[in-house]
Amino acid sequence: MKKVLFVENSAGFCKFNAPYMNWFKQQGWQVDHAAPGIEDKFAYGVTYHYDVDIHRSPFSFQNIKAIKTLKKLIDKEQYDLVHCHTEMGGLCARLAAISARKKGCKVIYTSHNYPFYKGASFLAWTVFYTVERMLAPITDAVVTINEEDYQITCKHKFAAGPNFKIDGVGVNLDRFSPVSFEEKIKLREDVGVAQDAFVLLYTAQFIPRKNHEMLIRQVPTILKSIPNLHVLFAGNGPIFEDMKLLANELGVSDCISFLGGRGDIDRLCRVSDLHVATSKLEGQGINNIEAMACGCPLVVSRVRGHRDVCIEGKNGFLFDLDKPQDMSSEIIRLYDDKNLYHTISEFNKKDASRFDVKREVAAMAAIYKKVLGDKL
């Protein structure tokens, strides 16, 4: 039996790779997964899950142990393919697979967002850019999910073989789909949102780069024009409590719901009117696409990844991070102009089809066939 190993520095990332894991399972392959922690241990078509403590920091000595653990596993199992994701998952797996690659194992790295980009810190360029250049000779292919990263990959030749671009990890359009007005009202009752509220949704981890603070600080301004505003935050993270305190300090806690981690993001998308994303850095932003598929217009920061999804004036609006007032203005504009809102909402229900997970699986299958050749 042929074998593939998926490697990431977060067990939760497994859900993004689930469609590709299942595709390999359908081809009769053994599908293994290595990441720190265990989440739904044997879900997503995984045959064996290995708890490997890969740290996010490139300066953690723990990653030396992780490389040794992965090397032992890869050499023992004699994988035909190692597909690694995330910066440190990609670093550790590619170093661990050096000897296996000499024996025929193929190595694919998917970058979900390079830490180095236009405007990134000198340290990010010094560390992570240098790492990618060093790892290029032992990488058979690099897959990117936005245009900026793809251009960087091609320009700097981050792979010994070809570079590819896909439109993200894909969204299950059977799960994320619009509902009727009557169903929306019923769902709002279930979630605890007023029927006449104008609901902004932001689904994201509570980490600094997701920049929740920007939206929270604009809520008092938005309330002046939208008195029935209700903001839903779905996600957990280290700054969760800090953001709750900030909302309380600004006196806007009553119109903000901090929902924590949720397994019903599809339902939250259906009860919402807009999806707002204030992220400082994004690979693509699957949260935006999930909301689009349910008919929500977008108001998102003008960063890479978002620019690949948001078509200005068609499915939403972009704003510059140094101009939070522009974000507020676009939200208010969509609230006031019902015709504009309806036009964008209807457009998004169809536009989301370009990110259908079935298309992305087909795109990745073509990449696997090209890289693996006769091995597949």
**206 and 161 share one domain:** no
> Does 103 reside within a domain?
yes
Is residue 88 in a domain? yes
DSSP assignment of 104-157 equals T-EEEEEES--S--TT--HHHIIIIIHHHHHHGGG-SEEEESSHHHHHHHHHHT
Number of domains the chain contains:
2
CB 87 within 8 A of CB 58: yes
Q: Are residues 257 and 365 in the same domain?
A: no
Whether 285 shows a pLDDT value over 90: the answer reads: no
What does the alpha-carbon distance between residue 303 and residue 279 come to, in Å, rounded to a whole number?
8
345-372 mean pLDDT: 95
Residues 218, 308: one domain? yes
255-271 residue pLDDT tens: 999 999 999 999 999 99
350 and 234 both lie in a single domain: yes
CA nearest neighbour of 85 among 63, 107, 110, 66? 110
Residue 176, in any domain of the structure: no
Can you state the angle between helices 324-336 and 338-351, rounded to 10 degrees? Answer: 100
Q: What is the pLDDT of residues 205-220, one digit of tens each?
A: 999 999 999 999 999 9
> How do residues 32-91 score in pLDDT, each as one tens digit?
999 998 655 556 678 899 999 999 887 889 999 999 999 999 999 999 999 999 889 999
Give the CATH number, domain containing residue 202. 3.40.50.2000
- 261/128 same-domain check: no
* Residues 164 and 244 reside in one and the same domain: no
Q: Is residue 188 part of a domain?
A: yes
d(Cα 159, Cα 32) in Å, to the nearest integer?
24
Same domain, yes or no: 351 and 363? no
The reply to whether 212 and 164 lie within a common domain is no
**Domain range enclosing 22:** 3-170+357-375
Extended beta strands in 229-362, E state = 229-234, 256-260, 274-277, 298-301, 316-319
pTM of the model: 0.86
Domain check: are 102 and 190 in the same one?
Answer: no
Of all residues in the chain, the percent with pLDDT exceeding 90 is 76
CA dist 376 and 370 (Å) reads 9
Q: What are phi and psi of 302, to 5 degrees?
A: -85, 75
Residue 113 located in a structural domain: yes
Same domain, 322 and 365: no
Which pLDDT value is given to residue 38? 65
Residue 270 pLDDT: 97
pLDDT-based confidence at residue 115 (cuts at 50, 70, 90): confident
Q: Please tell me the distance from the alpha carbon of residue 106 to that of residue 329, in angstroms, as a whole number.
A: 49
Same domain, 279 and 213: yes
- What is the DSSP-derived secondary structure letter of residue 8? -
* Shared domain check, 78 and 35: yes
Cα of first residue to Cα of last residue in the chain, in angstroms, is 11
Question: What is residue 3's predicted lDDT score, i.e. its pLDDT?
Answer: 97
